[in-house]
Amino acid sequence: MAREFDVPLFFRSTLVEKFKQRGSRKEAEGNSLPGTLDFGPVQFVLARRFGFCFGVQNALEMVYRIVAKNPGKRIFLISELIHNPSVNSDLLQRGVRFLMGPGGERTFDFSNLTAEDIVVIPAFGTTLELEDELARCGVDLRRNDATCPFVKKVWRRAEMLAKENFTVIIHGKFSHEETQATFSHTVRSAAALVIRGYDEARIVCDVISGRLPADRFFEHFGDRVSNGFDPALHLRRVGIVNQTTMLAMETEEIADLFRRTMAGKFGEQALAEHFADTRDTLCYATYENQTATDELARAGADLAIVVGGYNSSNTSHLVELLANYMPAYFVCDEREIISAAEIRHFDLDRKEVMLTSPWLVARDSAGPLRIALTAGASCPDFTVEKVMRRILEFFPEAQALKASAQ
């Protein structure tokens, strides 16, 4: 039986929860097909799975419990608890402070921390270097660790690879808190390298196979490798782990590329000596959400809305999947939907918030407007509901249907 978390009620939505719970439990298992909320002139086609994952709910439960049980105490998060502005804003309003900003900049002088202060590790985890520094300030992090269990699973897998003398290749965004943490935990015991995607994996494989000289390796990865990294030595035995919010399909493609490269260089019979299959580090929630979003895209719609924090890695990949099929708008909440003519959204290519007008496509008189809708793993269900309600305001004939759908 799935664990029930004590997540604050104001993050929940009765409408969305009923939608998620539709059908029997048996029907839901292994089913990634989307469903539809029909409001007459507008239909919202929702992904089968979206919103708070296990790790996010675990972190929320822990931090809100700490706040409730420690009135008057100073409570800090190392950085944002999760990548969602409404969640982090609510914690700030409750007196929780962040030691660091989203870009890693320090917003609080660590020397002012005391053993009486409570410091919480966020869902992404943190680096061992930062843990050591906080310990020297007298801070005990052991009882206040909200690191996602699936992130820790990646760390354990990296540790196993290290014991077997494999180099750990991390598929992730080097500046992301989770990848920074995974890299830090890994380099204590293994050679490590961070690659951003398939194109960078191909460069590494070209170095392994001899198609590119070793000096080209450092042109690309000089600042993303462990100290003393030697391509000739450390690329003979490799295993792949991932930032848990990356595209699962791309991680699998990268693993397959390394497998083929090692088999080509050392032979199939010697493959196990040079390549470790680590597909088990893929986060189940990331995989399920991406699979459900792929099915949502294939179901078809006039446009798509993806809800989540603009610095959320897992949400950005949902946008990428949908954008291959239809216009896709990445919004952090309902306030970004300015009017029926104008929407403010994050553009992944430009990496900036922009205004688009018009955005609502003209409705075919023969049928309703179909809007594909999903959300990132750190997005509250209530934010998704508020996005739907905002859009319905532009369709007066749908107003009577709103109450019946609550």
Tokens of 183: 């890299």
At 44-55, the pLDDT tens digits run: 999 999 999 999
Per-residue pLDDT averaged across 203-230, rounded?
94
Distance CA 338, CA 401 (A): 22
Per-residue pLDDT averaged across 368-395, rounded?
96
In this structure, are residues 332 and 382 in contact, taking their beta carbons and an 8 Å threshold? no
Q: Which domains does the chain have, with CATH numbers?
A: 9-53+285-404 (3.40.1010.20), 54-136 (3.40.50.11270), 149-282 (3.40.1010.20)
Which of 275, 281, 283 minimizes the C-alpha distance to 167?
Answer: 275
In this structure, are residues 384 and 16 in contact, taking their beta carbons and an 8 Å threshold? yes
SS3 of residue 210 by DSSP: coil
pTM over 0.75: yes
At 54-97, the pLDDT tens digits run: 999 999 999 999 999 999 999 999 999 999 999 999 999 999 99
Residue 159 has pLDDT above 50, yes or no: yes
pLDDT at 406: 37
The active-site residue out of 177, 178, 200, 336 is: 178
SS3 of residue 373 by DSSP: strand
Say which amino acid occupies 300: G
pLDDT band at 401 (very low <50, low <70, confident <90, very high): very low
**How far is CA 288 from each of CA 6, 31, 384, rounded to the nearest angstrom?**
23, 10, 18
Match 């890299």 to its residue by tokens: 183
HSE at residue 173, side-chain half, CA atoms within 13 A, is 16
Distance CA 297, CA 295 (A): 5
Residue 98 has pLDDT above 60, yes or no: yes
Distance CA 41, CA 108 (A): 51
Q: What is the DSSP string of 293-350?
A: HHHHHHH--SEEEEES-TT-HHHHHHHHHHHTTS-EEEESSGGGB--SS-EEEEETTT
pLDDT at 29: 61
Beta-bridge partner residues of 60: none
**How far is CA 84 from each of CA 8, 11, 56, 77, 284, rounded to the nearest angstrom?**
15, 12, 10, 14, 20
pLDDT at 402: 47
Q: Is 352 among the residues known to form the active site?
A: no
